[in-house]
Structure 1
Amino acid sequence: MAGKLEQGIEILPPHVNKGMAVKFLCHQYGITREQVMAIGNENSDISMVKFARIGVAVANANTDLKNVANEITAANTQLGVELMIKKYCL
């Protein structure tokens, strides 16, 4: 079990996480880790945020994720993702 959400529970096979999925996609598409930004809000996002060169937690993320993120942006309800895309991608 990866984590609890208000709407349900995330269940993943052992030794599988979002960081591994992003790493796999990078390999498949010839993208380097240095080209990756990951934005999350839950414990299940920790491996993905740690893998990315730019690992971001939204302001309403849990404390564990905020502790590993390179940056904290506004809450997802306050355009936090949009702010990071504008800052790093556009």
Structure 2
Amino acid sequence: AYWARNQSLIAQSMPLEDALVEDPIQVMFNGGVEAMRALVEGLRAASGAFAVSLTEYVHRDFSLIDVTAPGATKGRALAWRAAQLGIARDEVMAVGDNFNDLEMLEFAGLPVVMGNSVPGLLERGWATTGDNEHAGLADAIRKYALSADTSHSS
């Protein structure tokens, strides 16, 4: 999309596969909801060699597509990193706002959802914080990670 909007500014471009020096660990696409729904169907039909997930923010007409190795999720990455650092699951806080964060939130001892999260996350009874536009993440860090209060109540 960037290239299409700015063709006159780009002197040259090369095929993406020629520009990569290593295999990518993730490829992301973003755009309007309907366009990304169509693209995700094509990606899913193309191959079983990778996982494709779609995250939608319908109220903003914005969607993200993540293309990763099968089984690569935020939850597995968080569990792996916590184990690597010797951090117990109940000492882990995760903050998310959409279903692409679900496995990560389920792993965390303290799952926190943003105030503007999708209803399916808000309804789970987890701790909540402000929204993305009003320092919700910073508020959650101050309230839960930096305070002596470990009650985890919202």
Q: TM-score, normalised by structure 1?
A: 0.86
Long gaps (5+) in structure 1? none
* Identity fraction in percent: 30
| Root-mean-square deviation over aligned CA pairs | 1.7
Is the 1:49–1:69 Cα contact (8 Å) retained in structure 2? Answer: no
Question: Which secondary structure state, in structure 2, belongs to the residue aligned with residue 14 of structure 1?
Answer: coil
Answering whether residue 55 of structure 2 is matched by residue 4 of structure 1, we say: yes
Q: How many residues align?
A: 90
Q: In the aligned structure 2, how far is the partner of 1:12 from the partner of 1:69?
A: 30
Kindly indicate whether residue 142 of structure 2 is the aligned counterpart of residue 86 of structure 1: yes
Which consecutive residues of structure 2, in runs of 5 or more, have no partner in the other structure?
Answer: 1-51, 57-61, 147-154
- Secondary structure in structure 1 of the residue aligned to 2:84: helix
The answer to whether residue 92 in structure 2 is matched with residue 41 in structure 1 is: no
What's the counterpart of residue 65 of structure 1? 121
Alpha carbons 2:75, 2:103 under 8 Å: kept: yes
Structure 1: 4+ residue segments shifted above 6 A: none
**Structure 1 CA distance, aligned partners of 2:90 and 2:114?**
20
